[in-house]
Structure 1
Amino acid sequence: MKSQLHLLAQACPAWFEILDQVPDRLDGLARVEPWDIDGVPLTLRNDEPLTVGETIPGAVFPARCPERHIQADQTFCVGLNRPRVTSLRHAESWWYNLHQFMECQAIAAATGLWPPRNALDHGEAGAYQQRALKIARKLRIEEAYWEAYFGHPSWLSTPSQLWSHPKDQPPATRLRKPKVKKTLQAQGLLLELVFVERRRRHAMAAYRKNAIYYGKCCGQMRDCALAKA
């Protein structure tokens, strides 16, 4: 069976130049604007799971930055629970995700903001976010979910308002409720969404607390939990 790195080398896209390859490591240059001239030196390692990060952490990007999706071990977060690369199709998908990651890094470097909706939350919170989005799409209330996710006043953060009558709520706290079919299945999914979103927020708070303990703010992002600590 071909190794993950061998398959990735076979599927290597035009924007990535391979400089060196050994059984457990592949070094190269990622040429994505605005780094399309000199390139960003990256190293791929045949770990479980496969990892990628700057060859010299901190040379171009922050060495660690939750907001830039660069993890505590200085590797890039290019997807949640990524499967092994076992085919050329998997390899092409992996390169596509890395290219998307590099484009997001370019936007973050220029604006100090990670593109919204272009990544899952960190750690365990990411799995909860995936489930919440799946439920919201099934209920056709994805936009309402994103409003809550980005911190707007929402029935998700005040779930008791889902079931109370508007007349029983003070005018200032009345929130627009999602329009869903009044079936037992829909009501059950709505309850699950509230529960999953609450778990996501708890998991994200725990992740940020851990990140604050182990790292310092790089000062490059506008909205960073480390900077507020």
Structure 2
Amino acid sequence: MSLAALAQCCPTWAEFRPVDGREAHVDIVAVRASKTFTRLFELKLLHLGSDVSVFEREISKALPSCCPERHINPDGSFCIGLRAGEGITTETAPAWWDKLHAFALCQETAEETGFWPNEAQLSHGEAGEVELAAENAADQLGLRAIYREAVAFDTGLIASGLRKIAPKTGALRNGRSACVCGRADRHGRVMLRRDCRRSGLGCPIVFEHRRRALVDGFWRSLRGHVTCCGTMQECPLRKTDGSARPVTAAQGVTT
């Protein structure tokens, strides 16, 4: 159903050619905001289980074979959005195409500048789920902009609050003090740090500490296994000793 749903609403900037019930070839030329066109991307869609994965076809060399910073997984599949390929239906297929279009535009920006657009980026792996939870908690508190500042620049209230986290527990120290995030109870009183944690509503500072730990773990898991493609300006995998080796298809998934 997933490939059929995608075929039914294939946009004008893409050409969809089914190969069999589990595979399709897609050629896309995305349209920039300036109304100019991107390069041709020659892609392959695989429907395995309930998921659709996207790859560059072997005949094409427009993209690196693997680049976490460009959201290309070690097995060559693309991460076009968190859980984007899961259970695609007629209702969700148009949103999938929109994500693929945005992905192509971001690839052009990365190719031309060496940076992925910050507004289109989510943390890699499990950290992406935590980032979304942190954003939701920050939204509840009117702190969304401050949370994004912490992620992008490591500044602001939430970033400074990270210094109050106990590394061993991942909780804010001094549980009897008012929580730095300012979450209030039903009486309008700012919660104590221990009560904020127990409330189950989520503290964006605690979430951000967890997100950063997961991001660090993600990159540690790839070092020594993934060769940097050299196309991005600030890739954590950049090596000077030449010790990295090619990645195997089973390693790592980016988001």
TM over 0.5: yes
Per the alignment, residue 228 of structure 2 pairs with 217
Q: How does 1:18-97 map to 2 (within 5 A)?
A: 18-33=16-31, 36=37, 39-48=40-49, 49-56=51-58, 59-82=61-84, 83-86=86-89, 88-97=90-99
Q: Distance in 1 between matches of 2:59 and 2:203?
A: 40
User: Does residue 145 of the first structure (1) align with residue 147 of the second (2)?
Assistant: yes
Contact 1:148 1:157 in 2 (8 A): no
Matched residues in 2 for 1:145 and 1:22: separation? 45
Unpaired stretches in structure 2, ≥5 consecutive residues? 166-171, 175-179, 241-255
For residues 38 and 206 of structure 2, what CA distance do their matches in structure 1 show?
Answer: 48
Check 1:194–1:17 CA distance in 2 against 1; reply closer, same or farther (3 A cut): same
Note the alpha carbon deviations across 1:110-164, whole angstroms, 9 max, x for none: 111000121211111111101011111111111211221124343233236x999
Task: Kindly indicate whether the alpha-carbon contact (under 8 Å) linking 2:27 and 2:40 is maintained by their aligned counterparts in 1.
Answer: yes
User: Where do 4+ consecutive residues of structure 1 move more than 6 Å?
Assistant: 177-180
Higher mean C-alpha displacement, 190-199 vs 204-213? 190-199
Letter in 2 for 1:24: R
Give deviations 1:163-201, integer Å, cap 9, x for gaps: 99xxxxxxxxxxxx7676663469627972222111111
What is the TM-score when the length of structure 2 is the normalising length?
Answer: 0.74
Structure 2 matches for 1:1-229, cutoff 5 A?
Answer: 3-33=1-31, 36=37, 39-48=40-49, 49-56=51-58, 59-82=61-84, 83-86=86-89, 88-153=90-155, 154-159=159-164, 183-184=189-190, 188=196, 192-227=203-238
Moved more, 19-28 or 124-133: 19-28
SS of match in other structure, 2:238: helix
State the one-letter code of the partner of 1:44: L
Q: How far apart, in 2, do the equivalents of 1:221 and 1:37 lie?
A: 19
Tell me the alpha carbon deviations over residues 72-104 of structure 1, each in whole angstroms, 9 at most, x when there is no partner: 111000122333012x22111111111111111
Inter-partner Cα distance in structure 2 for 1:118 and 1:186: 35
Letter in 1 for 2:66: R
Letter in 1 for 2:213: H
Supply the AA of the counterpart residue of 1:69.
H
What amino acid is aligned across from residue 85 of structure 1 in structure 2?
A: I
TM-score (norm 1): 0.82
How many equivalent pairs are there?
A: 213
Contact 1:57 1:63 in 2 (8 A): no
1:58 and 1:19 map into 2 onto residues whose CA distance is 16
* Residue 171 of structure 1: aligned partner: none
* Distance change in 2, residues 1:204/1:101 (3 Å): same
Contact 2:82 2:128 in 1 (8 A): yes
Amino acid at match of 2:46: R
Match for 1:42: what amino acid? L
Q: Is the 8 A contact 1:53 1:74 kept in 2?
A: yes
Identity %: 30
Instruction: Look up the equivalent residue of 1:47 and give its one-letter code.
Output: L
After superposition, give the CA deviation of every residue in 1:191-213 in whole Å (9 maximum; x if it has no partner). 72222111111111111111223
Q: Which has the larger share of helix? A: 1
RMSD of Structure 2 on Structure 1 (CA): 2.7
